Structure 1
Amino acid sequence: MSDLSSPMRGVLRFEAVLVLILSVVIYHGQHYSWGLFAACFLIPDISFLAYALGKKAGAIGYNIAHSYIGPALCGLVFAGTQQPHWLMAALIWGAHIGFDRTLGYGLKYVSGFADTHLGRLGRKPQR
């Protein structure tokens, strides 16, 4: 598991805030449906169901749904096709990931849900 220093964790969370804001600003600028945004925003969290199959399957499922690779690929498909649903998917998905990372929910290690690339979830042990 990663043990990030506070400054590094802060940089990664700030980066996530910027992804969230940029995704929302572009989405707004395209005049897409906010109802659709709300309806689709939590779709990546369906990946939690993979944890029913164990920690390893859960981490893999979660990480596939919460990596910026998926939204980036959707953006590339949009760039090639100019079909707006690809950009909508990229922006909603990217906003979701940015939101989660802002809250400290990073990519998961197979050791457990609380072990993330942003550090361990939960309160720090008191000394």
Structure 2
Amino acid sequence: MNTTSKENAIYYHGTKADLKTGDLIEIGFSSNYGTKRKAKYIYLSATLEAATWGAELAFGEGKERIYMVEPTGPIEDDPNLTDKKFPGNPTKSYRSQHPFKVIGEVTEWTGHSEEQLKTMKEHLEKLKQQGIEAIED
């Protein structure tokens, strides 16, 4: 387990949840992805690109949002990406069982094209049909 603690790093969390500065993002709620089971981990990234995917692919009808967050405890490399898709963690994606405190919202960001979104959603659907979860705890 690679536990990370990077001081002065800016972290992002993409979602469709309507949050305010000071709110905590915590485990135990239904996941934004996969089978929507209760989340054992919460996820964040040090890249706006990864957070953009998080906002765009999250379940729900709410507005896509990207929040700047501050971990309240240790974070570790996200094995859903680093162990399978991007060795070395170039996406700077992490997870934790400790809450993230919302410290602000990114109000200006550019989403992916309709074609990119369609391709990603088709890929995730194929994985689902094969019984492969997008998020594995």
- State the TM-score, normalized to the length of structure 1: 0.26
- Name the structure where helix makes up a greater proportion of residues: 1
- Name the structure where strand makes up a greater proportion of residues: 2
- State the TM-score, normalized to the length of structure 2: 0.25
1 or 2 for the larger relative contact order (CA 8 Å, sep ≥6)?
1
